[in-house]
Amino acid sequence: MIEIVKDMSSFIGILIFIIFAFSLILLEFDREIKFTDHLLTSYGFVYGNYETEELSSSEIAIMVFVAFMISVVLLNLLIAIMGDSYAKVEESRILVDSLERLDMITEVIVIKRIFTPRTIKKEKGYLMFCQNSVSDESSEENENNLLEEKTDLLRAAIKSVETKLENSIALFDERMKMLAKAQEQASETIKIQGETTSAQIKELLTIIKGSKVKTGDN
């Protein structure tokens, strides 16, 4: 739907141009009416909302020409644009589905790497691409060429996903190293603070004992 709306930008531009042009023509025939009123009249004319009783023969001729342009030329142009957009979407459907599946596979691999112990050996896997066989021999060559193109696109997508996965793994390893380093620093700090506290406690006990001895002598 989004691709169809993007491709309709040229059609919308032509339609706006025709509405403004017809409004300017009506303004030349009747300058007593504001341009905005002529613009609204032209816009309503696009949807068939018009009256020919108050129009002159020249205005009726122009109206017939505009009606032909809108109902025949622009309507066929709109149908052609929508059909072409639908064909583009259908051509890229398999590739888009494959990319979405590859993204899901990447997420599963990353989650599995996070929650799986590192002692497990890595196992290589293979991604299989299957397609229904064609019984018509005349179109077999075209199907093979199309399959090769799609295979190349899929290989490029897999390479991109592998690069993304390697970057994610490298970033995760770096963060784990930073976390381990921070944990070591925190442990060392706690150890130093514990030794300092123990020394202070021993010193305090020594002072207390000394004070008791002096009190006993007195």
Q: Do 27 and 39 contact (CB within 8 A), yes or no?
A: no
Mean pLDDT for the stretch of residues 90-110: 81
Confidence of residue 52 (pLDDT cuts 50, 70, 90): low
197 token code pair: 């506290």
Q: In this predicted model, which residue has the larger pLDDT, 55 or 201?
A: 201
| Mean pLDDT lowest among 89-93, 120-124, 184-188 | 120-124
pLDDT over 80 (residue 166): yes
Taking the C-alpha atoms of residue 35 and residue 52, their distance in angstroms, rounded to an integer, is 19
What is the amino acid identity at position 89? V
pLDDT over 80 (residue 136): no
Question: 29: closest CA among 71, 66, 58?
Answer: 58
What pLDDT score was predicted for residue 218? Answer: 55
Confidence of residue 137 (pLDDT cuts 50, 70, 90): low
What pLDDT score was predicted for residue 214? Answer: 62
> CA angle 5-6-9, nearest 5°?
90
In the chain, % of residues over pLDDT 90: 0
Confidence of residue 129 (pLDDT cuts 50, 70, 90): low
Q: Do 118 and 169 contact (CB within 8 A), yes or no?
A: no
Most confident of the following: 34-43, 116-125, 130-139, 158-167? 158-167
What pTM value is reported for the model?
Answer: 0.36
Mean pLDDT for the stretch of residues 53-61: 72
Measured N-to-C along each axis, helices 75-91 and 9-29 cross at an angle, to the nearest 10 degrees, of 170
Taking the C-alpha atoms of residue 77 and residue 11, their distance in angstroms, rounded to an integer, is 7
Taking the C-alpha atoms of residue 197 and residue 191, their distance in angstroms, rounded to an integer, is 10
